[in-house]
């Protein structure tokens, strides 16, 4: 049931249906493989926009315009599974590539009123309780969210930032 609710929630927020991932190009280079974290067991790409100026037809114009206005050049929304590959502990992840490092950093720092600043992860990082974590590294922003108390978003963010830095 949580899987269904999570997918529906993502589609409502993003205003689009899942895309065919075979058309995605460089944005997939920013997706951390599950093998990088011992607790991650599965990944599912919900949507991908490799080029914001040439998005898939399934992406609404409102979403495209909002991303463009934020300086986003490519984006991917995906779901990681924590633990059991067929389990219900999910992490929603959004990976956004910006035109500049400053835009990515400002996106992290400007969107979370009341969030805790975290040192040592990427160029800028914030956590909103145990349920939301965002960081930027160069021109990439990664946002992680989970409704489960059993998921360690900070450990995923640490591994993700280290993986991005090494690639």
Note the pLDDT tens digit of each residue in 6-21: 333 333 334 333 333 3
For residues 105-128, give the mean pLDDT: 88
- Residue with structure tokens 């909002």? 66
Indicate the pLDDT class of residue 112, thresholds 50, 70 and 90.
low
Enclosing H/E stretch for 2: helix 2-14
For residues 22-39, give the mean pLDDT: 83
Query: Could you tell me if 143 and 132 are in contact, meaning their C-beta atoms sit under 8 angstroms apart?
Result: yes
Q: Does residue 68 carry a pLDDT above 60?
A: yes
User: Cα 100–105–106 angle (5° rounding)?
Assistant: 95
Indicate the pLDDT class of residue 129, thresholds 50, 70 and 90.
confident
- Domains of the chain plus CATH, in order, are 2-160 (3.40.1000)
For residues 65-79, give the mean pLDDT: 95
User: Residues in the chain, how many?
Assistant: 167
Helical H segments across 15-100, by residue range:
61-69
What's the chain's average pLDDT?
Answer: 85
For residues 128-146, give the mean pLDDT: 95
| Tokens matching residue 21 | 């991932």
Could you tell me which residue, 154 or 19, shows the higher pLDDT? 154
Predicted pLDDT of residue 46? 93
Indicate the pLDDT class of residue 90, thresholds 50, 70 and 90.
very high
For residues 46-70, give the mean pLDDT: 93
Give pTM, 2 decimals: 0.82
């Amino acid at each position: 049931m949580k899987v269904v609710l999570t997918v529906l929630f993502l589609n409502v927020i993003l205003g689009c249906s899942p895309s065919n991932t075979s058309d995605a190009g460089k944005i997939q280079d920013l997706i951390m493989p599950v093998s990088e974290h011992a607790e991650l067991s599965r990944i599912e790409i919900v949507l991908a926009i490799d080029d914001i100026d040439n998005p898939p037809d399934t992406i609404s114009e409102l979403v495209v315009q909002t991303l463009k206005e934020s300086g986003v050049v490519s984006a991917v929304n995906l779901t990681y599974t924590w633990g059991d590959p067929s389990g219900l502990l999910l992490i929603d992840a959004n990976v956004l590539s910006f035109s500049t490092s400053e835009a990515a950093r400002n996106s992290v720092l400007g969107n979370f009123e009341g969030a805790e600043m975290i040192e040592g992860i990427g160029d800028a990082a914030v956590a909103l309780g145990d349920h939301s974590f965002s960081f930027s590294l160069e021109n990439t922003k990664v946002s992680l969210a989970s409704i489960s108390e059993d998921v360690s978003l900070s450990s995923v963010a640490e591994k993700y930032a280290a993986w991005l830095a090494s690639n």
